[in-house]
Amino acid sequence: MPMVLKLPFLTSLFALLLFVSCSKMPLENDDDIVVNTPPEFNVDLFEQRDEQNGGAQLGLWIESAQTYPCDQPVLEVSVERLPQTIKVHIAGVRLPEPCMGGVNKARTFVAFGALSDGIYDIQINVGANDLIRNEGTLHVEGNKTTLHMPDASAVNILNFVTLRIPDHYLWGFAATPDEASEPAADQFLVDLKKRSADVALPPGYYSYFSVSGTGQVQLHNSVLPNGTHEAFVRQFDGDLQPLREIIDAARNRPDAPLPIYCQTTLGKI
């Protein structure tokens, strides 16, 4: 089926850039006028875990600011790697034709590839032929990665610093779509606590979730469900089998089967 490229800001942006290029005048203090473009994409520094073995990949989670009336809008994104340089190219959003289904945002994870500790130059460019260029640096150091990119245009960077999730952690949610599922979810969390321990993490952003100063957990958009749910982040002793038994029992309850998402540092359950 033919596909359509949707870039809401490009038409107006071309006109704006043409106007500025033709009429840019120095101010009294010899500073130039700076034109910024409203954010079209939300960006998070993100360390994704492999669903099979829990291996970590550093990259960016990118999501369109706009929603589309389609089931599967697709972000057109690519990465170019040089020894000390990372270039991310966001071409735009590709929609199926006809565009039908629910209302969704286009979203994807783009990996940087293997990175050793160090400082890298990074670009997050938007539009055909990298019409908008954003430059910065990426600091990779141990279990902490920091993105420095001041005055980014066309992208809204929400999380500049991500901390690596320590070994033997699990996170996810039990969905509660109706009243019958709520006590089932409560019982699932009670059973889960018997086979796991409370988190012992300093406040911060850990890609899949954030921990507040009071210990409250907020799931990231990459895993956050649309409906009501009970979120969890727990430690375990390294043995996945007891966790599988608890989760399988909750998923297969005859009275109220629970939809459960659970990812661990050893893989998805």
Looking at the fold, whether 254 and 141 belong to one and the same domain comes out as: no
Same domain membership, residue 109 and residue 45? yes
CA distance 143 to 220: 19
Boundary residue ending a domain (163, 195, 226): 163
Task: Identify whether residues 118 and 182 lie together within a single domain.
Answer: no
pLDDT, one tens digit for every residue, the chain (269 residues): 444 454 544 434 433 343 333 333 343 444 433 344 567 999 999 999 999 999 999 999 999 999 999 888 999 999 999 999 999 999 999 998 888 888 899 999 999 998 999 999 999 999 988 899 999 999 999 999 999 998 899 999 999 999 999 999 999 999 998 888 999 999 999 999 999 999 989 999 999 999 999 889 999 999 998 889 999 999 999 999 999 999 999 999 998 899 999 999 999 99
* Final residue before a domain boundary, out of 141, 163, 185: 163
Same domain membership, residue 186 and residue 144 = no
From start to end of 27-160, where are the E strands? 41-49, 56-68, 74-82, 85-96, 104-111, 118-126, 135-141, 144-148, 155-159
Same domain, 86 and 177: no
> Considering the entire predicted model, what is its pTM?
0.83
Q: Evaluate whether 110 touches 89 at the Cβ level (below 8 Å).
A: no
What 3-state DSSP class applies to 65? Answer: strand
Is residue 234 domain-resident? yes
Q: Please check whether residue 27 lies inside any domain of the structure.
A: no
Examine the domain organization and report whether 240 and 146 are in the same domain: no
Total domain count, the chain? 2
**92 and 8 within one domain:** yes
Question: Is 188 exposed, middle or buried, given 0-12, 13-18 or 19+ CB atoms closer than 10 A?
Answer: buried
CA atoms within 13 A on the CB side of 266: 13
Q: How confident is the model at residue 38, as a pLDDT?
A: 60
The whole-number pLDDT of residue 188 equals 96
Identify whether residues 142 and 180 lie together within a single domain: no
Residue 101 pLDDT: 82
Q: Please name the amino acid found at residue 237.
A: D
- Residue 74 pLDDT: 92
Structural domain including 185 reads: 169-268
Q: Is residue 85 one of the residues assigned to a domain?
A: yes
Residue 143 and residue 107 share a domain: yes
Shared domain for 66 and 179, answered yes or no, is no
**107 & 7 share domain:** yes
Q: Which 8-state DSSP code applies to residue 33?
A: P
Of the candidates 148, 163, 178, which is a domain's last residue?
163
Confirm whether 30 is domain-assigned: no
The amino acid at residue 211 is V
Q: Is 28 within a domain?
A: no
- Domain match, 129 and 8 both: yes
Q: Is residue 105 part of a domain?
A: yes
Q: What residues have CB less than 8 Å from 216, skipping those under 6 apart? A: none
Indicate whether 29 belongs to any domain: no
How many angstroms separate the CA atoms of 233 and 193, rounded?
Answer: 10
Residue 144 lies in a domain: yes
Separation between Cα atoms, residue 70 and residue 264, nearest integer Å: 31
